[in-house]
Amino acid sequence: MTFYLTYVLVATALFAFTALFTLFALYSERKISAFIQDRIGPMEVGKYGTLQAFADIIKMLQKEFIIPTAADKILFILAPIVIFVSVYLGFAALPWAPGLIPSSLNLGLFYIFAILSIETLGILMAGWGSNNKYALLGSMRSVAQMISYEIPAGVALISAVMIAQSLNLQEISIRQGILSTEQVYFLGIWEVKSVGGLLAWNIFQAPHLILAYIIYFIASLAECNRAPFDIPEAESELVGGFHVEYSGLRFAFIFLAEYSMMFLVGMIGVVLFLGGWNTPLPNVGFAKLALWTTGIGWGIFWILVKTLAVVAVQIWIRWTLPRLRVDQLMSFCWKVLTPLAFLCMLISGLWRLGVMQ
Amino acid sequence: MYANLGLVEAGCDAIVGFLEENADISCNKMIKKVLHAFKTVFKGLGLTMGHFYAARESRKVLSITDKDYFAQTNGMTTIQYPHQKLPVPEVGRYQLDVEMDDCIVCDLCAKICPVDCIEIESIKATEAIGKTSDGTTKRLYAAKFDIDMAKCMYCGLCTVVCPTECIVMTDTYDRSMPDLKEMIYKFSDMKPEEAEEKRLALEKLNAERMAAKEAAMQQKTQN
């Protein structure tokens, strides 16, 4: 009985977290974009506009559910749920701290990637169900883009998995710090198991993973439909893309999914490449910084800091780069990212054989 | 931050240079393209980061006459309008104001107005009412002097033609009203009863004059 209660509690906590994160990201995105454009952003609701996101949500909750007459009602109603649930389920296998993971799956990464692909289906349902040309165009673009970019993202992740030798995200995290049960080598030469910190992160264990991380990061931007890969939503071309017909709470759910997706892909990248919940501070001589800053509380702190930093970079990039054209997007994926990702995988294999043994 | 971005750019340049020298390396073109993309992306990111960093300071609320008005080129430019206001000169040309004591009700302003936003109703006085501050004799009462500021296009022609310079533009701006009718400013200080009284007095005088005239005419024909 109690474990059912735990299930419900964990699920509620994760949902609360995604909702809070969305509110926070909404506010920070508006502020960061404002600062980048020499504006000041929301200032009226609360001190420095801090309650703006809550005001937005309250407004959204009050809105009417509108279902277009020509829409396919079942698909239209189901789509936001499918979109959100697929992203939300992804959080189930992500580790937060040593020993703190909602579900320690031995196929964790594979599971997350499989479940994230279902979001594509939800987007297609939303676009088709709306019976609106812009929505349909947006969702088709979105599907084409997400399916294409899953390949470089997946291959880049595989090159990290080959170094870590596990698909369990908790295992992968453990192997990037002082808690590792195996030997950890900085750049494949220097034994850093007792030093830990930054030096034990995957990208420093095998430096070609820096390239793999960049590929993954770019592909993940495309997977969450964010600028410069926001052609599915392209406001100036498609009004609002696949969610153009949505209003009220349903739109809020699509929005929630989009922002949770940002956090989710950021967190996957952090776990696989940037040491997960491991501290960036190494043990130096008698100052056992890595030992002092490892633990459940510290783990949550570090993974939050790292992921929020990644999200900040996502936001920064969104407000810097203009949108790509559809053909540019596709040729970039297939002609540049995919070969480079395969190159990374090849180097990973060689690294495994030659350097790590 | 800037130094790092500069380094990345320099690094990309160095690799591109190396590749150009060794043009026979395969995948050369693709790698060059990728590096170029990285270089340009970092350039853009540096630019936006510069603006983000400059957002620590924001624009000061200075008058246009201040010598530092154009000096600040960085930082946030927003002026939070209802809370902060840019000082405007005293001789600002915004909303109209009429000094009724100086008005001789000549109706010139209403006639010149291109959008007909001034509406004046005058009543002739039975005798000179008084003098304006510049010494012109006033002979007309203004029963009605309405300016519809919602129609006004702020051309200022009325202030130019006014012989006594009683209609002026002021430094007041941004008057918003919940009802459009409230945008009609009433400048006449006469009460309706008062106006009625003056009208009756004028009618009486006119009637007397008419009677006198008729009497004179009759006398003329009799003679």
DSSP per-residue codes, A192-208: -TTT-GGGGSHHHHSTH
- Name B147's bridge partners: B118, B185
Q: How many A/B residue pairs have CB atoms within 8 Å?
A: 47
Asked whether A269 and A309 are in contact (CB, 8 A), the reply is no
Give per-residue pLDDT as tens, A159-201: 888 888 888 888 888 888 777 777 777 777 777 777 777 778 8
Predicted local confidence at residue A195, as pLDDT: 76
CA-based max dimension of chain B: 129
CA distances from A255 to A45, A224, A265, B101, B215 (A): 21, 11, 16, 63, 92
Eight-state DSSP code of residue A321 = S
SS3 B138: strand
Contact A335/B30, CB-based, under 8 Å?
yes
Both tokens of residue A83?
């979109």
Name every residue in B having a CB less than 8 A away from some CB of A: 30, 33-34, 41, 44-45, 47-49, 51-52, 54-55, 58, 75-78, 80
Measuring CA to CA, which residue among A162, A148, A72 is closest to residue A117?
A148
Q: Distance, in angstroms, between A204 CA and closest chain B CA?
A: 18
Partner residue facing A36 (CB), from B33, B48, B75: B48
Chain B residue numbers touching A37 (CB-CB < 8 A): 51
Contact B78/A40, CB-based, under 8 Å?
yes
Q: What ipTM, to 2 d.p.?
A: 0.75
Reply yes or no on whether the pLDDT at B5 is more than 80. Answer: no
Contact A36/B34, CB-based, under 8 Å?
no
SS3 A100: strand
Q: Is A238 exposed, middle or buried (0-12, 13-18, 19+ CB in 10 A)?
A: buried
Chain A residue numbers touching B55 (CB-CB < 8 A): 34-36, 38, 40
With CA atoms as reference, the chain A residue closest to B29 would be A336
Reply yes or no on whether the pLDDT at B3 is more than 60. Answer: no
Reply yes or no on whether the pLDDT at B4 is more than 60. Answer: no
Chain A residue numbers touching B30 (CB-CB < 8 A): 335-336, 339
Chain A residue numbers touching B48 (CB-CB < 8 A): 36, 316, 319-320
Both tokens of residue B32?
């060059």
Give per-residue pLDDT as tens, A281-320: 877 777 777 777 777 888 888 889 999 999 999 999 888 8
Measuring CA to CA, which residue among B144, B152, B148 is closest to residue B191?
B144
With CA atoms as reference, the chain B residue closest to A331 would be B30
With CA atoms as reference, the chain B residue closest to A314 would be B45
Task: Please indicate, yes or no, whether the overall pTM of this predicted structure exceeds 0.80.
Answer: no
- At B114, the pLDDT band (50, 70, 90 cuts) reads very high
Q: Distance, in angstroms, between B52 CA and closest chain A CA?
A: 5
Contact A35/B49, CB-based, under 8 Å?
no
Chain B residue numbers touching A336 (CB-CB < 8 A): 30, 33-34
Mean pLDDT (chain A) is 85
The residues, any chain, with a CB within 8 Å of residue B13's CB and separated by 6 or more, are B39
Give CA–CA dist A98/A94, Å, rounded. Answer: 11
SS3 A185: strand
Output helix, strand, coil percentages for chain A, rounded to the nearest 5: 70, 0, 30
Predicted local confidence at residue B1, as pLDDT: 45
The residues, any chain, with a CB within 8 Å of residue A234's CB and separated by 6 or more, are A138, A141, A241, A323
Both tokens of residue A136?
């349909």
Q: Distance, in angstroms, between A222 CA and closest chain B CA?
A: 16
Interface test with A, best of B48, B57, B79 (most A CBs within 10 A): B48
- Name B119's bridge partners: B146
